[in-house]
Structure 1
Amino acid sequence: MSIDPSSIPNFGGQPEPQPQGPAGPVLPDQDLVKQLLDQMELKYVVDEEGDLVAPWEQFRTYFMFRGDEPEQAIFSVRTFFDRPHAIEDKPRLLETVDEWNRRTLWPKVYTHTHEDGTVRLIGEAQMLIGTGVDINHFVSSTVSWVRAAIEFDKWLVEQLGLDPEGGEDDTPEGDAE
C-alpha cells in the first residue's frame, strides 16, 4: 500500500483545511492526527504497536505519541527511508545528512546501520504536547514535517545521484571486477 507523494495538496504556506476546535490549547491525540491525514488525503494504517503509519514508495512516516508522564508527552513524526545504502557509503551519507541538518529545521536526519551491514536513513521531528498546544501550530507543524520528509527524499536522490525508484546508487563503484 503506497501513495504518490505529489497527491499532498499544496497549502500555499498555510495548511488547509484546518480542524475546527477549541480556541485554547488542545492535547493532540491519534484521532486528531487521523483527521488531519484524512484531510491531507493520505492513506495510513495502524501498526502492531498502535502507531499511525503513512506509506510511500521509498519511505514510511510514523506518527507517534510517547511519554510516561502526561505533562511530558511528546508527539513524534519519524520517517524511515527504505532505500538501503552500503556500509562503504556511510561517510558520504553522513556528509550529506550533515549538510541537510545544517540547512533545514526538520526533519533532522541520521543514519542507522543494520545487522546485515546496510545503512538506512531516519528523519525525525518532535513536539512537546503534554501541557497542550495551539491547534493551528500542531496542524501546520505536522503538515510541514510531512512535506519536509518528502522534500528530503527528493533532495537526497538529487545530491547522491540515486535511482528515484529506489535502486542502488547509479555509480559503478559497487560493481565487481
Structure 2
Amino acid sequence: MARWWWSRGADEPTPAPEPAAPPGASATPRVTRARIAAWFESQGYVYFTDGQGELGGLWRSNVFSFLLGGADEHILQVRGQWHRLVTMDRIEEILEICNAWNTERLWPKCYVKVRDDGQISVVAEVSTEVEHGADDAQLGTALLCGLSAASLFFSSLDERYPDPASLPPAVAG
C-alpha cells in the first residue's frame, strides 16, 4: 500500500519511499493462482480451473471459487455457493438468516443472488488482503478460513432445511 506525504508547498502528494527490507530478509511471495493450486495439491484436494482460469472445487457438496481480485489481484476471495437453490417465496426468510449471521459473525459474508430463472443462490465469502504477499502457511490459513467459515454457514442451512431425500418417506394415511 502506498504511503503519502506532503512536501512543503507542494500541491500534489508525493509517494513516500517504501521502507527497505532488513538485510538478509526475503520478500514474502506473491499470491498467485499457481500457488493456490499448489496448496490444493499439497493437501490432496481435487480442484478445477474454469474457462477464465479461475480455480474452483467441491467441498461438502458446495461449489467454491478461489478468486484473485482488485486491480493488482491483491484480494484473495474464497466464495462458496450452497448446494441447494431456494424458491423466491423464501427470500425474506433467507435474507433474515444471512443478516443475522452477518451481524453476529465477522466471517463469512453471506448473501443471496437471484438467478435468471427466479430461484435464489445462497453465497458465503471470505476476502483477505494479500497485497504484501503471503508465505505458504499464511496462504493455507486464508484458504482454510474461507472454506471452513463458509462450510459452517452452509451446515447451519442444512440443519434448518434438511434435504427431503434424506428424510424417511411420509406415510400416506
Report the TM-score, using the length of structure 1 for normalisation.
0.71
Aligned to 2:161: 161
Amino acid at match of 2:153: F
More relative contact order, 1 or 2 (CA 8 Å, 6+ apart): 1
Residues 1:92 and 2:93 aligned together: yes
C-alpha contact 1:108 1:123 (8 A) present in aligned 2: yes
**What's the CA shift for 1:166?**
8.9
- Does 2:49 correspond to 1:49? no
Runs of 4+ that moved beyond 6 A: 164-167
Cα deviation, residue 148, structure 1: 1.7
- Alignment partner of 2:149: what SS? helix
Question: Taking structure 1 as reference, are residues 140 and 122 closer, same or farther at Cα in structure 2, changes over 3 Å only?
Answer: same
- Name the counterpart of 2:22: none
User: Mean Cα displacement is larger for which, 123-132 or 85-94?
Assistant: 123-132
d(CA) in 2 for partners of 1:163, 1:59: 14
In 1, the alpha carbon distance for the partners of 2:56 and 2:165 equals 21
Equivalent AA in structure 2 for residue 97 of structure 1: C
2:127 corresponds to = 126
What are the within-5 Å matches in structure 2 for residues 67-86 of structure 1?
67-68=70-71, 70=72, 73-86=74-87
Structure 1 residues 98 and 118: CA distance shift in structure 2, 3 A: same
Give the structure 2 partner of residue 7 of structure 1.
none
1:24–1:134 contact (8 Å) kept in structure 2:
no
TM-score of the two chains, using structure 2 as the length reference:
0.72
Once the two structures are TM-superposed, the CA of residue 112 in structure 1 deviates from its matched residue by 0.5
Aligned partner of 2:139 in structure 1 is 138
- In structure 2, stretches of 5+ residues that fail to align are 1-24, 168-173
SS at 2:92's partner residue? helix
CA distance in 2, matches of 1:165, 1:112: 25
Secondary structure at 2:53's aligned position in 1? coil
Question: Contact (CA 8 Å) 2:74, 2:130: kept in 1 or not?
Answer: yes
Q: Give the AA of the match of 2:83.
A: D
Measure, in 2, the Cα distance between the counterparts of 1:44 and 1:74: 20
The count of residues paired between Structure 1 and Structure 2 equals 143
Q: What's the CA shift string for 1:78-123, capped at 9, x where partnerless? A: 1122311111101110111112222322221100011211111111
Q: Identity over aligned residues, as a percent?
A: 22
Unaligned runs of 5+ in 1: 1-21, 168-177
